[in-house]
Structure 1
Amino acid sequence: MADSQFALPSPPFDSISKVQYSPTNPTQLLVSSWDTNVKLYDVGDDASGGRRSEQKCKFDHRAAVLTCCFSDAEHGFSGGLDTAVRYLDFSSEKSIVIGAHSDAISSMVYAQELNALISASWDRTLRLFDPRAATPQQASHETPDRIYHTDLVKNTLVVSMASRLFHIYDIRNMQEPMQRRESSLKYMTRSLACMVNGEGYAAASVEGRIGVEYFDPSPEAQEKKYAFKCHRQTIDGVDHVWPVNALAFHPTYNTFASAGSDGTVSVWDHKIKKRLRQYPKFNNPVSSIAFNCDGTKLAIATCYTWDEGEQGARGERERPQIWIKPVGPEVKPKDWQE
C-alpha cells in the first residue's frame, strides 16, 4: 500500500492548515493554507494508470486561511486571519462574505441537523450562520478563552480552548455547555477529533500525547478514559518529542489516525490501546489529515509547521504537498465483524 500513495497536482505554496473531504463525495477534497487560498480538488485513483487528480477551483482570501469545511457537494466555508466567514460556491467559483469575527477564525464545522455553520474564533466566540437566510448570522455564544479546535458528531459539539479548557455542547441548545472539562493532558491542545460512533473524542497535545475521552459522565464510562505517549523518538540517547498536529477517525471502523511534526502518521485502535500501523515517514511534518467518506483513502498534508520558528523556515525544505494514501485492512480493528 505504501508504494501506491501519490501527490496531488498544484499544491499550496505555503503551509497547509486543513484538508477536509466531502461528507458525501469520496473524491472531493477541500484544502486551506497560509498562502491565502482555499482549493477544491477532484481526487483521482492513482498517480499513473487511473483517473487523474485535478484542482477544480480556487478561492482567494485577504490573509492566511486557517480552516475550511463542506456544507454539501456544491458548497463550503472558509475562514482565517482576515476574520471573515466565507461561503464558497464550487460551481461558480465565487465566495460571499456572510459574517465575521473580531479576531482570527480558527475552526469551523457544518451542522447538518441545523443547516448551519458553526464557526469558532480566537475572539472567544462560537457563531452560527445559515447561508440561505437574508441575515445569515443566527447566534453568537461567548466562551471563557480563545478557541483552537472544534469537532462535531451527531448533535454533540466539542470545543477546545486555550488554558486546556474543553466545553461540550448539545447543538440544539447552545445557551450553556452540557459539560465543562479540563484537558487530561498537561500541555496545550493541538488537535481534536470526535469518534464516529458518538461515544467520545480524542485530543492531542504539543507534547506528544493523545487522550481518549468519553462523553458519558458516569463513573463507569469515565474509568475507560486514558492517555498515552506517541510521536516520540530517541535519537543518539536524547528523547525527542513532537506535537501531534492532527487526528482523524475512520468513518467505518472508528479507529483513528494521528499525525505529527515528526513526519509520521500512525493508526490506532483505542479500544485495545494498540497501534495498528505506522506509515513510512515523510520528509516534512504532517499538519493535517482526513479520511474520505467511504474510508478508502487518507489525505495527508505535509509542510513546515513552524515548530522551530524562523530558523527552521530558513532551512532547505520540500515544498508543501498533499499526499493521497489508499488505505487497506490496516485501519480495521482485529476483532471487526463484517
Structure 2
Amino acid sequence: MTYNRNQQGMLSENPKDYEVPQPPTDGISGLSFCPTNDYLAVSSWDNNVRIYETNQQVGSAVGKSIYAHEKPALCVTWSKDGLKVFSGGADNAGRCFDITTSQTIQIAAHDQPIKCIKYVDQVNLVATGSWDKTIKYWDTRSQTPALTVNLPERCYAMDVNYPLLVVGTAERQVQIYNLNNPSTSYKTTQSPLKWQTRCIACFTSGNGYAIGSIEGRVGIQYIEEKENQTSFSFKCHREGNNVFSVNTISFHPIYGTFSTAGSDGTFNFWDKDSKQRLKGFNSVGAPISATAFNRNGTIFAYAASYDWSKGYLQYATSTKNAIYLHSVKEDDVKPKPAKKR
C-alpha cells in the first residue's frame, strides 16, 4: 500500500528557519528536546554533547552547556524531570550530565559503541543499545547493568514508548519488547523493507512503530493488526531515479502525525491514518541527519550535516553542520480526512 501520490505532485515550500548559533564542528548524530522546557540537547561526531536554550517563538537560541565523550557522541536523550541528559558514544560509554550541577558521570559501559540511548521513566532506568549486540538497562546509581538482553545483531535503531520498546538491528532484524517483561522478546520479526534499517520511532499511541531504510521507504507497522490497523509501507525521499536514505522519523507529541527526513536534504510531515503527506519542504542543501519535536510540537528541530550514507570517503571537511528551528504551523501537522480515491 502507498500514500496518495501527492508526494510527487504537491508543491513543497522552501523552509525559512532559524539557524542555531555555535553548532557542532562535525556531523550531528542526535537531537533531543527536554520534556519540561525548550532546552535542546545535541550529540555530535566532534565528541561533544551541547545543550541550547531555545525560544518558544523560535526567535533565538543560546548555548548553555557542553560536555564531552572520549570519541564521537552518537545518541542523546533526557530524563523525565528535565534535569539530566544521557548520551552514548563510540567510546563505548553512556554518560549523564546534571543540568543543575554541570557535573558529568559515566553510567553505562558496553564492549562496542553505544548507538542508541533512551530513558524509561516508568521504571527510572536508562536503556542503551550497542553494536556489541546487547541492550542494557541501567540504574544510574549502580555501575553494573540492572539487566542485559542479547540481540541477534548490532543495534542500529531503537525507540521506546512504555511499555513498548522496538529495536532494529543489522540484517534487517526487528526485536519488539514489552517492558513489563523486558528480558524476553515479545515478538521477533524482519523489517518489511528490503534494505538496511536506518531509523525507528514508536507511535505516540504505543501500538506500533515506523521504520525507515536506506532505500527511501518507510514501513508503518502495528504490533497487533486489526481491521482498521493494517501495516503498510510507502516510498519517500526519492527524486527521479535517485533514491535517498530515510535518516530519521519523529512523531508529533500532540497529533501523532510524523516527520521523515533524509539524505536528499528534505523533510516532510505525514499522517499515517489518512495515508497522505501533509506538508513537504524543499532541500536545505545538505543531508538531514537528525530531527526532534519539542514537548508541545510547536518547534521542529532538524540538523543539516553529513550523514555517512555514502561512507567516509565522501566526507568533506567543508561540509556544513547546522541546526535549524522550524516554527510548526498547526495546519501542517494536524491530521486530515483520508482523500477519496
Same fold by TM-score greater than 0.5: yes
Residue type at the aligned position of 1:226: F
Query: Given that residues 4 and 46 in structure 1 are in contact (C-alpha distance below 8 angstroms), is that contact kept between their aligned partners in structure 2?
Result: no
State how far apart, in whole Å, the 2-side matches of 1:134 and 1:313 are. 39
The 1:171/1:270 distance shift into structure 2, 3 A limit, reads same
Could you tell me which residue of structure 1 aligns to residue 47 of structure 2? 36
State the aligned residue count: 324
Deviation per CA, 1:88-136: give whole Å up to 9, x if none.
11222221012300001000111011100010100011111111x3445
Aligned-pair CA distance for 1:85: 1.3
How well do the aligned residues superpose, as a CA RMSD in angstroms? 1.8
Residue type at the aligned position of 1:233: E
State how far apart, in whole Å, the 1-side matches of 2:188 and 2:137 are. 20
State how far apart, in whole Å, the 1-side matches of 2:181 and 2:15 are. 47
Secondary structure at the residue paired with 1:314? Answer: coil
Residue type at the aligned position of 1:333: P
Equivalent in 151, 154, 169 of residue 159 of structure 2: 151
Could you tell me which residue of structure 1 aligns to residue 233 of structure 2? 227
Residue type at the aligned position of 2:18: F
Residue type at the aligned position of 1:12: P
State how far apart, in whole Å, the 1-side matches of 2:142 and 2:15 are. 50
List, as ranges, runs of 4+ consecutive aligned residues in structure 1 with deviation greater than 3 Å. 1-4, 218-222, 314-317
Instruction: Give structure 1 stretches of 5+ with no counterpart.
Output: none
State how far apart, in whole Å, the 1-side matches of 2:88 and 2:142 are. 20
Deviation per CA, 1:4-32: give whole Å up to 9, x if none.
5201111000000000111222x111100
Are 1:276 and 2:278 counterparts? Answer: yes
* TM-score (norm. length: structure 1): 0.91
Deviation per CA, 1:27-57: give whole Å up to 9, x if none.
111100000000111012457xx5x311110
State how far apart, in whole Å, the 2-side matches of 1:22 and 1:316 are. 31
Equivalent in 62, 74, 94 of residue 70 of structure 2: 62
The 1:185/1:134 distance shift into structure 2, 3 A limit, reads closer
* TM-score (norm. length: structure 2): 0.91
Could you tell me which residue of structure 2 aligns to residue 9 of structure 1? 21
Q: How does 1:236-251 map to 2 (within 5 A)?
A: 239-251=241-253
Secondary structure at the residue paired with 1:163? Answer: helix
The 1:309/1:295 distance shift into structure 2, 3 A limit, reads same
Could you tell me which residue of structure 1 aligns to residue 127 of structure 2? 118
Query: Given that residues 15 and 34 in structure 1 are in contact (C-alpha distance below 8 angstroms), is that contact kept between their aligned partners in structure 2?
Result: yes
State how far apart, in whole Å, the 1-side matches of 2:51 and 2:261 are. 22
Deviation per CA, 1:223-267: give whole Å up to 9, x if none.
x11011110002xxxx00000000001011111000000000011
Q: How does 1:77-96 map to 2 (within 5 A)?
A: 77-96=86-105
Could you tell me which residue of structure 1 aligns to residue 9 of structure 2? none
Could you tell me which residue of structure 2 aligns to residue 140 of structure 1? 148
Residue type at the aligned position of 1:23: P
Aligned-pair CA distance for 1:335: 4.1
Equivalent in 147, 157, 172 of residue 164 of structure 1: 172
Instruction: Give structure 2 stretches of 5+ with no counterpart.
Output: 1-12
State how far apart, in whole Å, the 2-side matches of 1:33 and 1:248 are. 19
Could you tell me which residue of structure 2 aligns to residue 99 of structure 1? 108
Query: Given that residues 158 and 165 in structure 2 are in contact (C-alpha distance below 8 angstroms), is that contact kept between their aligned partners in structure 1?
Result: yes
Query: Given that residues 125 and 142 in structure 1 are in contact (C-alpha distance below 8 angstroms), is that contact kept between their aligned partners in structure 2?
Result: yes
Query: Given that residues 262 and 286 in structure 1 are in contact (C-alpha distance below 8 angstroms), is that contact kept between their aligned partners in structure 2?
Result: yes
The 1:316/1:297 distance shift into structure 2, 3 A limit, reads same
Secondary structure at the residue paired with 1:271? Answer: coil
State how far apart, in whole Å, the 1-side matches of 2:281 and 2:175 are. 33
State how far apart, in whole Å, the 2-side matches of 1:141 and 1:313 are. 35
